Structure 1
Amino acid sequence: METEAGRFTPGEVRTLASLAETFVPGVDGAGIGELAAQALVRAADPGQVARLRLVLRLLEQPVANLVTAGRPAGLTAMTIPERERLMLRWAYSPIALKRSGFQALRKLLSFLAYSAPGADGRNRLLGEIGYSTDDPPTTAQPTAVKPTVIDRMPGGQPVRLDADVIVVGSGAGGGVMAAELAAAGRDVLVLEAGPAVDETTMPRTELDAFSRLYLNHGLLSTWDGSVSMLAGSAVGGGTVINWMTCIDVPGQVRAEWAGEHGLDGIDGPEWDRDRAQIELEIGVTDSPFVPPKDAVILRGATALGWQAGTIRRNARDCTDCGSCPFGCPRGAKLGGLRVHLAAAVGDGARIVDRVRVTNLITEGGRVVGVEGNVLVEDPASGMPALARHGDPTSAQVRRLVARAPQVVLAAGALRSPAILQASGVHHRAVGRHLRIHPVPVVAGRMPEPVDMWRGTMQAACSTQFRDAGPGHRGYVIESAPGHPGLLALTVPWDGAQDHANWLRNSRHLVGLVAVTRDGGEGRTTLTRAGRVRIDYRLDGDGVRTLRHAAGSMVRLARAAGAVEVMAAAAPILRHVADGEDEAARFEAFVARVEAMDFGANRGTVFSAHQMGTIRMGADARDHAADPRGRVRDVDGGIIDGLYVTDTSTFPTGIGVNPMLAVMSMARRVSRTVLAEGRARG
């Protein structure tokens, strides 16, 4: 019989428990194994779940393990040291399925071990590593954004709504679009797949935040698991959980968009005016705080003679508590929830949360609305109501039909193309040209405590290599704030004790990441289950850029005084700063880092920015939207009444955090939506 974990058998859950005990010494394997099974069935595509179940069965095959581990026994029958040896063989295997299975399970189980509370509500490991956080007070003035109440009982007739304009998605682009249209007197309906939260209901723990506010409940990756991804899924989108880094699109990129892609006005005063207005609205200012982890960047850059400085951010009355990835309970983060959506609601806009738009409604060749599923929740638990006990894939829904003469897609670079694909909009560029800003990871162990989870998430950066140069496409070096769960899945695993030692030293670790400008051709498609499949491969220039960035980051960490430097590779590359020959050994270490293997599931790669899947441009064949955000059909003609304004419109990657760019682009597209709406009368 199957457990409440869903489609995982009791034997498979036991294997997950054994793996948890192998990866993290002393953890409650049974509890973590059950949580992992529940998380996978809830968040992963059925095809991915089936592949991981195959991996679990392979691990229990005695004959297969005789070849790999030298003993004819299943994983659960092995001793912990034997399991470790088996897992290391899988980690470095030439067989892609073994590497991807190892990485997917190791990352998930490590994250849960360092983020999930035990039976007593506490996590023993967090105390062992010295993790503690401030608990900021909730603001006395929570946001005025309250979702429209609709009938969420399952079955029955569809919920029917009408508006002048429907905005699908409420993140950086959707929020600005809704505010601009509502201010102009349009009847705006915003449909958001994620939940509505305000300052009184923001998560206070890492696991709760990932479960509630992140796309796929935080379990988002490329199909092969080689790139772990982060994206928001809540009213306010990524602006609720991002790190508030405000950097404009580099001039080199704007010139490329104007010259090579035909985006008129992008490289001139029109864009400058839009960006300036956005900065005014969200209160962009220099960070008044420079936490120890960010001081490392400034100190290292100064020692190397590199360009560096503080980062501007959208905050007011910030207490520097470090809870940005969980949402801001104080209301200091001036994102879409606090600013643009609040303004839109004040001007009469309606927001309906927990509605996943599935397809467009078309009549006579023009778009006249959308259809979607309203998530039905159990009032007692707040979890999706289940049609069959224990099977989260059967979450009950009620259909929604919303009609409007204009529809704006702002669901992000992963969901917006999925809606087009499900609706039969098959322009050749839809879902293609995916850019993800691949991020390599480096850590430095400092002699003094850094507490990378405290303080402003990102307060400083080095722009020394922002523009493309010899051997790289361009990147910005930033700090990587790390609460324990995210840190545990990021640190490569070269054995349980080695991994545990890195976590025990986490108070002294500073994480560095490089937001790289990629040119590889990723793609999004729909699976049989209707979920988004993400495929991505680094091209040669992309690999060279990651290597260049990793080499720069280890140099910066060492120059700032790190006593040990680690590059997140498989196996880990590390350098300890001691001995008379330290300088020569360090140069040899840098050379190894600059030759890192970034093949699938080898070097650690993250993405927090996904772009380009409905890219804008003048060429009707190569761009799925025109320069003003109007979506094109398969023949390149404009689809009447359909627009797009999120990161999917970016013709290329930009090499910096995209929030300012998305908001500025939304102002640009809003003028087209308003003008065409007025023309309709």
Structure 2
Amino acid sequence: MEDGSSSRGHPLLRWRKVEGAYSHGFSLAQIQSLAAICRTLLPPPPSLDSFHSQPSLPDEVGEMMARHGRPEAVAVVRIVLKILSSRLGSLLLCGTLCIDAKWPFLHTFSQLPLHTREAILRAWSKQSGVFVPLRITFLLVKFFCLFYFFARADENSKNPAWESIGYRVDTRERGWKEERPLEKGIIETVDEDDISIRQSLLDKGVHVAEDNTIRCDVVVVGSGCGGGVAAANLAMAGLKVVVLEKGNYFSPRDYSSLEGPSMAELYEKSGLMTTVDGKFMVLAGSTVGGGSAVNWSASIRTPDHVLQEWSTEHKIKLFNSQEYHSAMDQVMTRLGITESCEREGFQNQVLRKGCERLGLKVEPVPRNSPRDHYCGSCGYGCRTGDKNGTDRTWLVDAVDNGAVILTGIKAEKFILEDSNDNSNGRHQRRKRCVGVIASSLGGKIKKKLWLEARATISAAGSLLTPPLMLSSKLENPHIGRNLRLHPVLMTWGYFPEEGSEFSGKMYEGGIITSVHHVTGTESGSGSRAVLETPLIGPASYAGLVPWVSAADFKDRMVRYGRTAHVFALVRDNGSGEVVKEGDVKYRLSQKDKESLRVGLRQALRILIAAGAAEVGTYRSDGQRMKCEGLTAEAMEEFLDSVDAVGGVRTRGEHWTTYFSAHQMGSCRMGASAGEGAVDENGQSWEAEGLFVCDGSVLPSAIGINPMITIQSTAYCISRRIAISLQKGR
């Protein structure tokens, strides 16, 4: 299993490891125990191209788990698998179910019949307290086994199980106009070495000193919503800009719409990042274009009540200024925002019809794509090239004005010097940033790259900007704190195709084209929750859907294509922190849990009103209800049982997983160093010349999809930087 081995211009297709070259570190005995669990999770032959025909699958699952699972959780799994390989160990973890009246009387887990192993796994999924390691083992193996089984593809981009569940990969003709619109500004370091990188930079007009120090006006770390806008504005102001992106560059011709390899190449931690406690799965883009290259196109202006709150309670006057509103207009124009779509996909048809039947307001969602854009796989890169991420807009503007983008480059720390800022009338900063030190990832460049600049911008996102600033010895207490995640929980409804008024499959059509706002309890406070529809591929669905038996799992997968999802998103009051790369901590407030519960209940009502044959949640016990002949009393009784208890370590039998695709606030703006990590200009309170230009500067959560807010904020910050640098010439 490769980590997504695409190089320049190569489609995102391959995602497997050469058999016999595994580095997972599991022993043969552990792999045998793992194989037994996998055979239990997946239906027996001939269902879904069974596990039994794939002898290498346990090794593949072990490899993926070792590579992407949290180390402490994987360590627990290793111990459990080792114990299960012995008879006495199996007795300890599985109880009397391992005992038989016939010789050899006591069996290992792998020797038990399927129905017994199923009963054991069901028991593990409910364990808590001292036995929570068994729940962790169940969750980790279940997720990675089922995810990999439905993500893998052969040389022809096929998976036999996809036909069984009615899934088809998007193979429409690609409609791009330019093959690689950023080509003239891109340097892909995977193709460079210590000697050639110097010449490549010189060829693109970047000054490289004799000691190989790279000099420019501005260096931007990150190329997403914040970095892309900043690079464009600064380059168009006549400044020499160098952008550092640790991900790779892909254009529409490279996208395959294959879930596994696309997530491996385009997302942070291959799209498998979790919070430290495992309660949240966190999606963040990691490619040229960042989150804008893989998001779901929703392009919503910052709500007025949020702008008012930020300008008054947080004392950031920018957000209630004409400057900011003008920036939003400029961003909406550059992204080509359309206010509605010509045709809605299956899931959005369901959401709209359910709302209409209940008399609820449902609104069209503005998108950064044409009205006829009917793409259900934009989360894996838009293969038609119609979605206007920064890789198709702002970064094109940047390279057209001389900016250079280095891919496969990771910033390690900022170069800080003592400051001589003693001027009156502004905050005195003790440090001055003069650039950044970076290193190449996976290429032939062995030396560190030193980039000196008049201004340095961190646009690495809310999960990576704080660790980068802290690794540079900055100490403001707000760095890495106040993290907001827009917590999400999902519901589902099954709509049989026969006789249905809704056409299509759940993976077809625009991902988010309709939205319902669950009314807030306080006037002017915005929504209690936002209801939208997600992209969820077959592998993600398989890994996350509740598992109670192999037969039940098969039934859920066969119905995958006609299972509509509606998720509830809340503007969180709870917060978290990320002070070390990859270690995201978050605590959901009780108020947020209640808002999620309200949102879930409303989503289920909508699905029922739309005519679902069955509805349910993602709670671990497979919470579901058939709708035929449903009485009002029975529906209310079911809805009363819906809760928002999340996390594998949660006490009690039932739990669910929260999701987050929006991260904000971890280096928030503040009116002073005591109230935020950066000022209203995005400049660090500690280091002159160091700016933050991504979602981490937002004072709090927004409550809606944040792309327009992040880009508009970056527009204002970068325009101010440009004016300042032009004056300083």
Superposition RMSD in Å: 2.5
Structure 1 residue 206 displacement after superposition: 0.8
Please say if 1:123 is aligned against 2:159. Answer: yes
Number of aligned residue pairs: give it. 652
Deviation of 1:474 after TM superposition, in Å, equals 2.3
Match in the other structure for 2:500: none
- DSSP 3-state at the match of 1:624: coil
Which residue is 2:38 aligned to? 20
Q: Give the alignment of 1:495-644 within 5 angstroms.
A: 495-526=549-580, 531-579=581-629, 582-593=631-642, 595-600=643-648, 602-633=655-686, 639-644=687-692
C-alpha separation in 2, matches of 1:14 and 1:653: 46
Matches within 5 A, 1:63-462: 63=88, 65-70=90-95, 71=98, 73-95=107-129, 96-117=132-153, 122-138=158-174, 139-146=176-183, 147-150=186-189, 160-285=213-338, 286-316=340-370, 319-364=373-418, 365-377=431-443, 398-448=447-497, 450-462=504-516
Deviation at 1:142, TM superposition (A): 2.6
Q: Distance in 1 between matches of 2:520 and 2:231?
A: 32
Residue identity matched to 1:129: I
Matches of 2:586 and 2:266 in 1, distance apart?
A: 24
8 A contact 2:614–2:626 mirrored in 1: yes
Residue aligned with 1:196, SS? coil
The counterpart of 2:78, out of the listed 53, 60, 63, is: 53
**2-structure distance, mates of 1:511, 1:553:** 9
- Residues 402-439 of structure 1, C-alpha deviations (whole Å, 9 max, x = no match): 11121101001111101011111121111111111111
- Report what 1:382 is aligned to: none
Query: Do the aligned partners of 2:189 and 2:440 also contact (CA within 8 Å) in 1?
Result: no
Is this contact kept in 2: 1:472–1:545, CA < 8 A? no
Q: How many angstroms does 1:185 deviate by?
A: 0.6
Secondary structure of the 1:652 match is coil
- Equivalent-residue separation in structure 1 for 2:521 and 2:411 (angstroms): 38
Amino acid aligned to 1:589 = F
Distance 1:62 1:664, change over 3 A: farther
Residue identity in the other structure for 1:609:
H
Distance 2:167 2:510 in 1: 16
Distance 1:163 1:74 in 2: 64
Decide whether the 8 Å contact of 2:647 with 2:657 is kept in 1: no
Contact 1:12 1:57 (8 Å CA) reproduced: yes
State how far apart, in whole Å, the 1-side matches of 2:698 and 2:510 are. 28
SS in structure 1 of the partner of residue 493 of structure 2: strand
Distance apart, 1:230 and its partner CA: 1.0
Alignment-derived partner of residue 39 in structure 1: 64
CA contact (8 A) 1:48 1:223 kept: no
- Please identify, of 536-545 and 349-358, the stretch whose mean Cα deviation from structure 2 is larger: 536-545
Question: Deviation of residue 133 (structure 1)?
Answer: 3.5
State how far apart, in whole Å, the 2-side matches of 1:333 and 1:203 are: 16
Q: CA deviation at 1:118?
A: 5.0
**Bigger CA drift: 144-153 or 652-661?**
144-153
In structure 2, the residue corresponding to 1:312 is in which secondary structure? coil
Q: Distance in 1 between matches of 2:713 and 2:30?
A: 47
In the TM superposition, what whole-angstrom CA distance separates every residue of 1:591-614 from its partner, at most 9, and x where no partner exists? 001x34335451231111111110
Residue 9 and residue 546 in structure 1: after superposition, are their counterparts in 2 closer, same or farther (change >3 A)? same
Alignment of 1:669 with 2:702, yes or no, is no
The question of whether the paired residues in 2 share the 8 Å contact of 1:306 and 1:464 is answered with no
Q: Which moved more, 1:115-124 or 1:211-220?
A: 115-124
1:381 corresponding residue in structure 2: none
TM-score, length of structure 2 as denominator length = 0.84
Residues 104 and 225, structure 1, Cα contact 8 Å, conserved in 2: no
- For residues 66 and 93 of structure 2, the distance between their equivalents in structure 1, rounded to whole angstroms, comes to 29
Which residue identity is paired with 2:626?
A: V
- Matched residue type, 1:97: P
Contact between 1:564 and 1:574, CA under 8 Å: does it hold in 2?
yes
Identity %: 29
In the alignment, the residues of structure 2 paired with residue 261 and residue 511 of structure 1 have an alpha-carbon distance, to the nearest angstrom, of 36
Q: Is the 8 A contact 1:408 1:643 kept in 2?
A: yes
The answer to whether the 8 A contact 2:150-2:162 is kept is yes
Match among 522, 534, 542 for residue 480 of structure 1:
534
Structure 2 gaps of 5+ residues are 1-19, 44-49, 99-105, 199-210, 419-430, 498-502, 650-654
Distance in 2 between residues matched to 1:288 and 1:271, nearest whole Å: 31
TM-score normalised per structure 1: 0.90
Question: Which of these two proteins has the greater Rg computed from alpha carbons?
Answer: 2
Amino acid at match of 2:698: F
Match of residue 8, structure 1, among 26, 29, 48: 26
Distance 1:652 1:341 in 2: 27
Secondary structure of the corresponding residue to residue 587 of structure 2: coil
1:9-40 Cα deviation digits (max 9, x unpaired): 34434433333322222225543332233334
Q: Is the 8 A contact 1:143 1:338 kept in 2?
A: no
Rate the CA distance shift 1:244–1:366 in 2: closer, same or farther, 3 A.
Answer: same
Contact 2:169/2:258 (<8 A) preserved:
no
User: How many Å separate the matches in 2 of 1:280 and 1:169?
Assistant: 23
Shift of 1:78: 3.1
